[in-house]
Structure 1
Amino acid sequence: MSSENSEQPLVHPRAALGRLPRYAAGKPPVQLEGMQSFKLSSNENPLPPLAEVLQAIADHPEVNRYPDPTAAPLRAALASFLDVPADDIVTGGGSLGALNQILAAFSGANDGAEPDEVIYAWRSFEAYPISVGLAGARSVQIPLAAGARHDLDAMAAAVTERTKVIILCTPNNPTGPVLHTAEVEDFLAKVPSDVVVVIDEAYVEFVTDPEAVQGLEMYRKYPNVVVLRTFSKAYGLAGLRVGYSVSQAELTQYLRVAAVPFAASSLAQFAAISSLELYPKILERVQSLVLERERVVNGLRDLGWPVPDAQGNFVWLDLKQDSAEFAALAEAQGLAVRPFAGEGVRVSIGEVEANTRFLEFCRDSTIRPAE
């Protein structure tokens, strides 16, 4: 190879890659001498999997074999648990993997024509624009309304003939509010029936609002609705990456084509099935985190901090330009939180001691959200 050729790039990424944001995972805490540090930056369950779940993993060491490619045992367990047909369930590598399969099946670049459009609220889950862009589609981001909630009227008004998918994140990550049944039904009545509406319920187990929309109810009533769920949050299996979608046969026939083979590993499937069998114990743990969430929210409000409705396992602080500085000060106190530059800070609900230290930090902080 000539020196002239060796100076030239050998490969070029797709142009879309240069337009995509980089996913920024929550940072681990800095280890401080004489002080325990806590990670409150990734919405992880601070509690480890149940001992029985860990045993179920240990009982299946045959990781030299591929898992069932359709995750049939897990889908059968989910079908019984959710009271839905197993054929309506498609597994993925976490709920994000399941979402990527939906986007691959229903949105893209269309062989040189104008790209399809995917509508979602913003700020919402930061992986959405990355996944949409990699699918070859165009993001249509609709700013949140008052209370850090989805502006469903604006989202409905943004629908065009190129709209193929709409994503509703409830509870919304990172801001916390949940969508209500009445407003979602009104929204779905405005959306063309050939537009796929994804209801992302990654945090559904933490929801206590009695008016919260139930994704499975919407899926049963509307053939264009897909529900996303995960074992990462409430079940404490984030490291195993297992999620799934639920939709009617009209959609699942295409999702199975787009599904990544063997995305749900055998260990993930065994752990998920065991967790479903132990759901009463899982629910006890979820309730303990919900009580801690309520303690944190009430504590912040008692300090005069405005906090949006929190229905996930996290709270949102509308700190805008002070977000990065707040996160740095929290880090100095052994607390890793998740700043979104210029917007706000998301703080996951963690161990009791971590939550108490966070409240004390906020009590003494000179940085506060605007009223």
Structure 2
Amino acid sequence: MDRPAARPEPRPAVAALPRYVPGARGAADGPPPVKLSSNESPYPPLPSVAQAVAAAGEVAHRYPDMFAVELHERIGAFLGLSAESVAVGGGSVAALHHVLQAYTGAGDEVIFAWRSFEAYPILTQVAGATAVPVPLTEDGRHDLDAMAAAITERTKVILLCSPNNPTGPTLRTAEVEGFLAHVPSRVLVVLDEAYVEFVRDPDVIDGRAALDRHPNLLIARTFSKAYGLAGLRVGYVAGDAELIAPVRSCVTPFSVSAPAQTAAIVSLDARDELLERVEAVVAERGRVADALAELGWTVPDPQGNFVWLAAGERTAEIAAALAAAEPAVLVRPFAGEGIRVTIGTRDENDAMLAALASLGANAS
């Protein structure tokens, strides 16, 4: 009998990767659900953006600008930085991936709060580094004292998420400044501000201003959330040009399509109009948080376009019940921990609240 041929094996770190779980989408052959599972904007692209994307699609047989020169220039101008101080990628998650590719490898450690953005441990392991998750406080905030205590000689990068996805609270100026004072200058700190436009906490750390005070700091932002371009994938990191140069070297060629580059540029031009939509989401966020409190839930301070339900052991049960409601309400459960609910339209939010109320006792 012939012996079975040996099969190619992936790197152990890749084979052991945790799985990234996207927001549920519903059945293709069923009625459309209330989709509150992916932190998407409830609004379609602005007409000006849609028209620009359509025009860019007419030359889809041509490669996009590999270096996204105009987009880098426009983002740099928006931030008051040089174009060389910006690295654009296919969403902020890709930009973060390139940061870890540039700055970490085998034997290095990456510190982040947990639970936080679920891509952090995945990106860390893909880069070959070791993840060092530090538990959140009971109210869903970063424990910056514990994160500072976790720094070792092997620490290369620290990821901060403000507001924290999926729990919602921001990082505040005084606490971050105190934390950064304890971080060695050799350690790169990345402040992930994917939801910065939705923040109304007056004490929140201003990442752009902090760049001027801390030469080992980068900020990460995205066009997916407030700008409503989740399907086009544009994000970036920004900071000192010398820190950004190695990141730009890791960016996959042509990774940001021509329609995506165009949409981001036109969206920057239409920022004021887009921020009116953000205000509507923020108002709905407050209304939903108040309604959840009336239902008995204790919601951590929501500063993104979502709220967090600390459902604990009932997480899977509640998420399944919401999905079975009429209409079906899709949320993002994190097994054994809680449920993240995106802020949708008023009607969508009301459907979620009604379905949740029908379940009876809460789990907070």
TM-score, normalization by structure 2: 0.96
Counterpart of 1:38 (choices 34, 37, 44) is 34
The AA in structure 1 aligned to 2:42 is: P
Deviations 1:287-306 (A, max 9, x none): 11111111100111122211
Q: 1:236 aligns with which of 225, 228, 236?
A: 228
Inter-partner Cα distance in structure 1 for 2:293 and 2:343: 16
Say if 2:36 and 2:344, in contact at 8 Å, map to a contact too. yes
Structure 1 residue 36: deviation in Å?
5.4
Give 1:202's match in structure 2, choosing from 179, 191, 194. Answer: 194
Percent identity reads 52
Unaligned runs of 5+ in 2: none
- How far apart, CA to CA, are the structure 2 residues paired with 1:27 and 1:367? 24
1:11 matched residue in structure 2: 8
Q: Which moved more, 1:352-361 or 1:174-183?
A: 352-361
Distance in 2 between the 1:32 and 1:240 partners?
A: 25
State the SS of the aligned residue for 2:105.
coil
| One-letter amino acid matched to 2:151 | V
SS of equivalent residue, structure 2 residue 220 = strand
Residues in 1 aligned to 2:338 and 2:102: alpha-carbon distance in whole angstroms:
33
Matching residue's letter, 2:121: P
State the partner residue of 2:141. 149
Does residue 263 of the first structure (1) align with residue 261 of the second (2)? no
Partner of 1:76: 73
**How far 1:29 sits from its partner (Å)?**
3.1
Relative distance call for 1:129 and 1:216 in structure 2 (3 A) is same
* Counterpart in the other structure of 1:54: 50
Q: CA deviation at 1:108?
A: 0.7
Question: Where in structure 2 are the equivalents of 1:119-130 lying within 5 Å?
Answer: 119-130=111-122
SS, match of residue 212 in structure 2: helix
Kept in 2, the 8 Å contact 1:223–1:250? The answer is: no
Deviation at 1:214, TM superposition (A): 0.9
Deviation at 1:8, TM superposition (A): 2.9
Q: CA RMSD in A?
A: 1.4
Q: Which ranges in structure 1 are unaligned for 5 or more consecutive residues?
A: 110-114
**Which of 344, 355, 358 matches 1:361?**
355
* AA matched with 2:352: F
What does 1:171-250 align with in structure 2 at a 5 Å threshold?
A: 171-250=163-242
Q: Residue 362 of structure 1: CA displacement?
A: 2.2
The question of 1:293 aligning with 2:285 is answered yes
Q: Is the 8 A contact 1:29 1:335 kept in 2?
A: no
Q: What is the number of residues matched between the two proteins?
A: 361
Kept after mapping to 2: 8 A contact 1:31/1:37: no
Within 2, Cα distance between the matches of 1:330 and 1:148? 23
- Given that 1:121 and 1:151 are in contact with CA atoms closer than 8 Å, whether structure 2 keeps it comes out as yes
* Residue-by-residue CA offset, 1:300-327 (whole Å, 9 max, x unaligned): 1122211000000111000111101101
C-alpha distance in 2, partners of 1:66/1:147?
Answer: 47
1:341 aligns with 2:341: no
Structure 1 range deviating more: 162-171 or 216-225: 216-225
Query: What's the counterpart of residue 325 of structure 1?
Result: 317
- CA distance in structure 2 between the partners assigned to 1:201 and 1:9 by the alignment: 45
Q: TM-score of the superposition, structure 1-length normalised?
A: 0.94
Partners of 1:321 and 1:302 lie apart in 2 by 22
